[in-house]
Structure 1
Amino acid sequence: MTHATPGRPSALRIWWLAARPKTLGAAMAPVLLGTALAAVEGPLHLPSVLLCFAGALLLQIGTNYCNDLADFLKGTDKDRIGPIRATQAGWVTPGQMKLATQLVFAAAALVCAGLVARAGWPLVVIGITSILAGVLYTAGPYPLAYLGLGDLFVLIFFGPVAVAGTTYVQTLTFAWTPIWLGFGPGLLSVGILIANNFRDLDGDRLAGKKTLAVRFGVTFTRLQYTVCLLIAGLLPWWVYPEGAMTGPLRMLLLLGASLLVLIPIPFVWKHEGRALNPLLARTARVLMGYCLLVALAWVIPA
């Protein structure tokens, strides 16, 4: 059994830190929103609700473990200024991180199998593509994050796929509303990635990691972050069913979601480098609050 030593966390804490707990809300929030959209259509199937949350959590942790290992092997984390990564710090070996990644993705596949039993082949497609995307995000011969495609991956899989997939598991019918509304959490999740890539811009450039921040520079990155959050704030007003804006509480909740996304924007225009570390957690909290407010606006009685 691994024990904590000075400067080294306990084994349990090492794996918890490697899971990057501040990013886990990005996986859970769209599932919450998708569940709320389904609740309007009828009674929820509670076992599949729990499986959706578990699957999203496992996919996020597996992706983070894979990223920890892949960035170490590519040398990207050598001069990082963000939180310590487990493999780079020597807390775990590459073999241990590889095994952990495989086990977590295997658990995610089992959860997906349970969802397939309820929702059929669409969940096979979602499950396989989600696991593949989680691996190919930083691993493989053409890792998405190293080609500047990480933003698109995050937008799709943490947005429409997560929200609409969750809703489909409950309703077993296709609808456009969860897809369009899913772009809200997708854009805010991209905001988390932008904050990360902006902070790591200099190190990523040296490591050959061609994120959009590296490709287009500081001003573009700040504008990208701002635009993503502003569009997310406006999106629910466009998607919300016509004629449903009848209750003051609903309007207040949506207004709260729209104002919430404005809070972290000034920060990205004032800071660079290591000073951006708080922005990741702030954006993640905005994502959680946004999804909660929009979900409540959807389910409260007129």
Structure 2
Amino acid sequence: MSAMPLKIDLTHAKEEREPGVVDRWIQAFRLQFVPTSIFPALLGSVIAWATFREFHFLYFVMVISGVALHHIGLNMIDDVFDYLHAVDRSHGGEKNPYTGGSGVLAGRLLSARNVFCVSIFCYFLALITAVYLTLSVGWPVLIFVGIGLFSSVFYSVPPIRYGYRGFGEFSLLINFGPVICLGAFYAQTGSIAWEPFIISLVPGFLMWSMIVINEIPDYEEDRQAGKLNLVARFGKKAGILLYSAGLISAYATLLLAVFFGVSSLQVLLGFLSIPAAFNSLIILRKNYHDRLKMAPANLAAIKVHAFTLSFLIIGYLAKGVQVNLL
């Protein structure tokens, strides 16, 4: 007599674990993108120390805290209004982990109301740091704060919603380059100068490239929702060209800064990230039609930004040590 096969229904034996409350909010914050604000602030502060011998630790902490809180608020308010406008509603296995919002609203992990309220609280905390710096350093701080606040809020908030009209990429170039970097420099020195302005274009161009490559996987959804950024307007192949243009502009800025004597040779350390840039471009050109297969290209773009800015910061730290300590 043969034994009957034992059948066990495992369908419900192991349910997918729901993320806890803390995990949900960490996901909503999208902390993986916050360094794109912190790096330019670090760079501006280090340039101030290396070239002007100015460094105030408390101002430095306030700047870093302010830009980080502001970026988290931006991430969440953008998430809310993209969700309300029917953008970023795809979720599950089809989602590129580096694009399309945090997914907490599409996945019903958090309510839009709660995310909006926390974003406003982050903006409030960022404004406290701005008020302190304004009172301590001077009223021009308000110019940097005003530009950043206006740009972040009205990127996706009606009636302006300029991110839906093809101006978002330019705004990110300006805000994640000159506004943050020069703002951090001003907080330390109480002045502005050509060198931090020119060098600040590097993180700006890299941020341009990062946002463009992140728009490519969302091409169809953005067009359907009326979010007509540059990729949605001109297509994925144009996005590859725009991404490449941002990378080339960043490295060309470093080269020209040295050639014209704006900065010294240490900024050429930024060229050490070129292999990562080539890698991202190769993956993108091969897989731009597949949102999941191009995810490594999105990750590589984040690394290019981080590596380039890290090498620049190291270069200016080395210069600062030579000038100030030796």
In 2, the alpha carbon distance for the partners of 1:228 and 1:299 equals: 26
CA 1:7–1:243: 2 relative to 1, 3 Å: closer
Which runs of structure 2 are paired with 1:53-202 in the superposition (5 Å)? 53-79=64-90, 81-83=95-97, 84-202=102-220
AA matched with 1:21: L
1:2-81 equivalences in 2 (<5 Å): 6-40=16-50, 41-79=52-90, 81=95
Q: Following the alignment from structure 2 to structure 1, what is the Cα–Cα distance between the partners of residues 49 and 223?
A: 46
Q: Which runs of at least 4 in structure 1 moved beyond 6 Å after TM superposition?
A: none
Residue 216 of structure 1: CA displacement? 0.7
Paired residue for 1:253? 269
1:32, 1:292 within 8 Å by CA — same for their partners in 2? no
- The answer on whether the counterparts of 2:130 and 2:142 sit within 8 Å (CA) in structure 1 is yes
Deviation at 1:269, TM superposition (A): 0.8
Q: 1:257 offset after TM fit, Å? A: 4.3
Residues of 2 paired with 1:148 and 1:123: CA distance?
Answer: 28
Any conservation in 2 of the 1:30–1:185 contact (CA below 8 Å)? yes
Pairwise CA distance, 1:122? 1.1
Distance 1:299 1:119, change over 3 A: same
CA change 1:255–1:196 in 2 (3 A) is closer
**1:145 positional shift:** 1.5
Shift of 1:39: 0.9
Distance 2:155 2:35 in 1: 19
Q: Which residue of 2 aligns with 1:264?
A: 280
Per the alignment, in what secondary structure is the counterpart of residue 292 of structure 2? helix
By percentage of residues, which structure has more helix?
1
In the alignment, is the contact (CA less than 8 A) between 1:233 and 1:261 conserved in 2?
Answer: no
Q: What is the rounded CA distance, in whole Å, between the counterparts of 2:277 and 2:215 in structure 1?
A: 19
Q: How many residues align?
A: 295
Cα pair distance change 1:159/1:13, threshold 3 Å? same
Output the amino acid matched with 1:183: L
Q: In structure 2, what residue type is equivalent to 1:74?
A: H
Quote how far apart the aligned CAs of 1:298 are: 2.8
Alignment CA distance shift 1:222-1:128 (3 Å)? same
Percent identity between the two aligned chains: 23
| Bigger shift: residues 270-279 or 225-234 | 270-279
- CA 1:181–1:7 in 2, change beyond 3 Å: closer, same or farther? same
Query: Does residue 294 of the first structure (1) align with residue 294 of the second (2)?
Result: no
| 1:278 equivalent in alignment to 2:296 | yes
Task: Give, as a single letter, the amino acid of the residue that structure 2 aligns with 1:176.
Answer: W
**Contact 1:159/1:184, CA 8 A, preserved across alignment:** yes
SS in 2 for 1:38: helix
Aligned-partner Cα distance in 2 for 1:134–1:251:
29
Deviations 1:135-177 (A, max 9, x none): 1111122212211111011000000111111111111112122
Which blocks of at least 5 consecutive residues in structure 1 are unaligned? none
| Residue identity in the other structure for 2:44 | G
Q: Provide the rounded CA distance (Å) in 1 between the counterparts of 2:247 and 2:185.
A: 24
- 8 Å CA contact retained: 1:233, 1:259: no
TM-score between the two structures when normalised by the length of structure 1: 0.91
Unaligned runs of 5+ in 2: 1-14
* Structure of greater Rg: 2
| Distance in 2 between residues matched to 1:6 and 1:259, nearest whole Å | 39
Deviation for aligned residue 1:278: 2.6
Q: For the residues of structure 2 that align with 1:245 and 1:128, how far apart are their CA atoms?
A: 32
Normalising by structure 2, report the TM-score. 0.85
Name the CA shift for 1:109/1:288 in 2 (closer, same or farther; >3 Å). Answer: same
